[in-house]
Amino acid sequence: MASPLIVPVFLPHLGCPEHCIFCNQRALAPELPLPSRVREFIETSLHHLPADPRRLKQVAFYGGSFTAIPEEDQIAYLKEVEPFLSSGRIDSIRISTRPDALDEKVLSLFARQGVKTIELGAQSMVDEVLCLSCRGHSADETSAGIGRLKGLGFEVGVHLMIGLPGDSLERFEETLNRIIDLRPHFVRIHPTLVLRGAVLEQRWREGRYCPLTLAEAVQWLKRGLLRLEKASIPVVRVGLQPTGDLEASYLSGPYHPALRQRVVSEIYFDMAARVLEPQQAQPEIIFLCHPGEVSNVRGQKNENIRRLKEVFALKSIMVQGKRDIHRGRLVIKTAAGEFSIERGDLFGQVL
């Protein structure tokens, strides 16, 4: 099933009982829409969505902790979607919330109002990291929340962050272990950024917080992507959505507008290097891949081509797309023969 087309309604900080040190959502989506404006926004948004019968359409309430706002406000927002659900123009609703704000009354309401997908802001599965980030909930509450939602038939997504205060690569591995055991339906991962107006800004300015470098974030995310892929858990987004508001509030940290491509390109570099390493150096090689992966194989600004030439003393590298090669497979033709590698072949090497 193709991923749904999303009509995003942002409710920055609405319902959040805590003020997480990394967060300044009002800088990312400064206007809080009243329920009375939601219907007009959905109507306008539907005109801009592509006509693709293979993809369902969802209204998504993002940004705050939807289940933590007063029940009458939840009902007011959900009722604005009802006409679109009844007419079939919208297929379902998704909401984002906290792991510790999932009481049975709220979940029963959702089942009646067309909510299909619930995304939980887990961020980490290490309690010390959660405490240092002022999340106000524990890893065990995330585990319990995922289990409860899956048991009730909801599609469950999990948000993870890397590079939070107190985080480390080993702790991120621990988070991945626990999330994989819980088997949510999908995951989002993004690095911690220092945003203007967030509590973390002051710690960064005082030298009490040092964000990951972009190179470090790529290595962490590469591990996360490969491990979750191995567990058949889709990673639907890597990095924050680039917007003018984000770039205006960004101060420091591993921000890149095409972060996922950078991570996937690094994976293809590793694939190529693993095949080339045992071979005698060749002056010319040809990479064959799915047409949709040509830019990832080449790397941003042809970075992979430059690095491979330098490391393996190659004079010429060609990259060709072939539709009979599936995504995630790389075929390498050299004078010594033809070799192929799958992304899955890296699991034992990288993890």
Degrees, nearest 5: CA angle 305-338-288: 45
Mean pLDDT over each residue of the chain, to the nearest integer: 90
- Which span out of 65-74, 156-165, 282-291 was modeled with the highest average pLDDT? 156-165
- For residue range 209-250, list pLDDT tens digits in order: 999 999 999 999 999 999 999 999 999 999 988 888 888 889
The yes-or-no verdict on residue 20 having pLDDT over 70 is: yes
Separation of first and last alpha carbons in the chain? 29
Contacts of 34 (CB under 8 A, 6+ apart): none
DSSP 3-state assignment of 19?
Answer: coil
- For residue range 318-338, list pLDDT tens digits in order: 999 999 999 999 999 988 789
User: What residues pair up with 238 in beta bridges, in sequence order?
Assistant: 189
CA–CA dist 90, 100 (Å, integer): 28
Q: Residue 30: its pLDDT value, please?
A: 47
Residue 25 pLDDT class (50, 70, 90 cuts): low
Tally of CB atoms within 10 A around 34: 10
Query: Any idea which fold 280-350 has?
Result: Glutaredoxin (3.40.30)
The yes-or-no verdict on residue 1 having pLDDT over 60 is: no
The yes-or-no verdict on residue 26 having pLDDT over 60 is: no
Q: Residue 13: its pLDDT value, please?
A: 61
Q: Residue 32: its pLDDT value, please?
A: 62
Residue 52 pLDDT class (50, 70, 90 cuts): confident
Residue 19 pLDDT class (50, 70, 90 cuts): low
Identify whether the C-beta of residue 81 lies closer than 8 Å to the C-beta of residue 40. Answer: no
Domain with CATH 3.40.30 in the chain: 280-350
Residue with tokens 């693709």: 52
With respect to CATH, is domain 5-257 assigned 3.20.20.70? yes
Annotate 325-345 with b (16+ C-beta within 10 A) or e (fewer).
beebbbbbbbeeeebebebeb
- For residue range 296-309, list pLDDT tens digits in order: 999 999 999 999 99
Whole-structure pTM value:
0.90
The residue among 18, 12, 13, 23 whose CA lies nearest residue 200 is 23
Separation in Å, CA 158 to CA 33, 56, 82, 117, 206: 25, 20, 26, 11, 32
Domain with CATH 3.20.20.70 in the chain: 5-257
Average pLDDT over residues 64-90: 91
Identify whether the C-beta of residue 52 lies closer than 8 Å to the C-beta of residue 84. Answer: no
Q: Residue 143: its pLDDT value, please?
A: 97
Q: Residue 350: its pLDDT value, please?
A: 47
Tokens linked to 249: 């509030």
Give the single-character DSSP code of 56. -
